[in-house]
Amino acid sequence: MFKKSKIPQGDLFKDIGMQLSGRKQKIYQDPTAWHNVFYKEVVSRIDEAIFAVLYDQTMGRPNAPTRLLMSMIILKEGQGWSDQQLFDQCRFDLQVMRAIGLNNMDDDVPTGSTYYAFKKLLLEHNDQMGEDLVEKAFTHITTAQIEAHGISGRKIRLDSKLIGSNTAKGGRLHLIVECLRKATARTPLDALKPDVTEQFFTMLCDLQQEGKSASNITYGLNGDQREQLLVDCGTGIRSLLNDHPDLVLDIAL
């Protein structure tokens, strides 16, 4: 069920800024510091109503704050972080926490599964409806910035396509790896080894370990590594389909 998030409220006893002394507090609360500018000019301008189409309006559990999830995606792509780096930074770096609106020491980001589910919903909506909600959100952010700062807009360049493209690739990679995990769960892998690359074979072996999921494989990968794994999966799946037709892989590339 879709629900807009509330503006985060500070807690006198848990507020991070109140726990810092002198110089640290000055830097932390400096309105011109990157983390405060990012929150004011980007995060606070994200229109959560744009993402209402991804959720049922009356049924189900309330969604995680889409403003927070989008700000995480923007930081991840802007900084070139892996998912693991993203979560580490958002949980333990005070400036990054401030940048995404987490002001109390016990504030935390949504779980990894919630984050991946949101990216999956964005991808599915784009595929089914032909509407890029990331681009739509960026257009709204830019429009609000233009109005707030009196910018003409004639020379504004907004490259939200890159973030949307990377989000789509990451979502598709996660789906492909998960399909591979299910398709080869009971397959004797030694028979496949001669027909695939060593990296692809190692990934298949990892996926057969108890408790392993697609998230475990993709979590620590940066942009270049995700790109390479996507290529390896494509060539590996082709080899499996050509050399092992009895192995059914229901994967939409």
Pick 154 or 50 by higher pLDDT. 50
Q: According to the model, what pLDDT value does residue 253 have?
A: 40
Is residue 53 scored above 60 in pLDDT? yes
Cα 45 to chain center, whole Å? 19
**pLDDT range class, residue 247, cuts 50, 70, 90:** low
Q: According to the model, what pLDDT value does residue 34 have?
A: 94
Q: According to the model, what pLDDT value does residue 59 have?
A: 78
Q: According to the model, what pLDDT value does residue 252 have?
A: 40
Domain chopping of the chain, boundaries:
16-158, 161-243
Is residue 42 scored above 90 in pLDDT? yes
What is the residue-wise DSSP string for 8-56? Answer: P---TTTBHHHH--HHHHHHHH-TTSHHHHHHHHTGGG--GGGGGGGS-
Q: According to the model, what pLDDT value does residue 49 have?
A: 94
User: What is the rounded distance in angstroms from the CA atom of residue 213 to the CA atom of residue 234?
Assistant: 19
Which letter does DSSP use for residue 238 in this model?
H
- Residue 163, class by beta-carbon neighbours within 10 Å (0-12 exposed, 13-18 middle, 19+ buried)? buried
Average pLDDT over residues 180-185: 84
Q: According to the model, what pLDDT value does residue 165 have?
A: 61
Is residue 151 scored above 90 in pLDDT? no
Is residue 248 scored above 70 in pLDDT? no
The fraction of the chain above a pLDDT of 70, given in percent, is 86
Q: According to the model, what pLDDT value does residue 166 have?
A: 62
User: What is the rounded distance in angstroms from the CA atom of residue 59 to the CA atom of residue 65?
Assistant: 17
Phi, psi of 138 (to 5 degrees): -65, -35
Is residue 154 scored above 70 in pLDDT? no
Is residue 114 scored above 90 in pLDDT? yes
**pLDDT range class, residue 229, cuts 50, 70, 90:** confident
What pLDDT digit, counting tens, does each position of 124-139 carry?
Answer: 999 999 999 999 999 8
Beta bridge partners of 104: 15
Is residue 11 scored above 80 in pLDDT? no
Is residue 158 scored above 90 in pLDDT? no
Q: According to the model, what pLDDT value does residue 29 have?
A: 93
169 and 121 Cβ atoms separated by less than 8 Å: no
Tokens of 56: 């049922």
For helices 66-79 and 160-183, the axis angle rounded to 10 degrees is: 100
Q: Which long-range contacts (CB under 8 A, 24 or more apart) does 133-138 make?
A: 133/50, 133/51, 133/53, 133/54, 134/70, 134/73, 134/160, 134/163, 134/164, 134/167, 135/160, 135/161, 135/164, 136/50, 137/46, 137/47, 137/50, 137/51, 137/70, 138/163
Average pLDDT over residues 53-81: 90
Average pLDDT over residues 170-188: 82
- Average of per-residue pLDDT values in the chain: 84
Pick 180 or 35 by higher pLDDT. 35
Average pLDDT over residues 105-123: 93
Length of the chain: 253
The fraction of the chain above a pLDDT of 90, given in percent, is 40
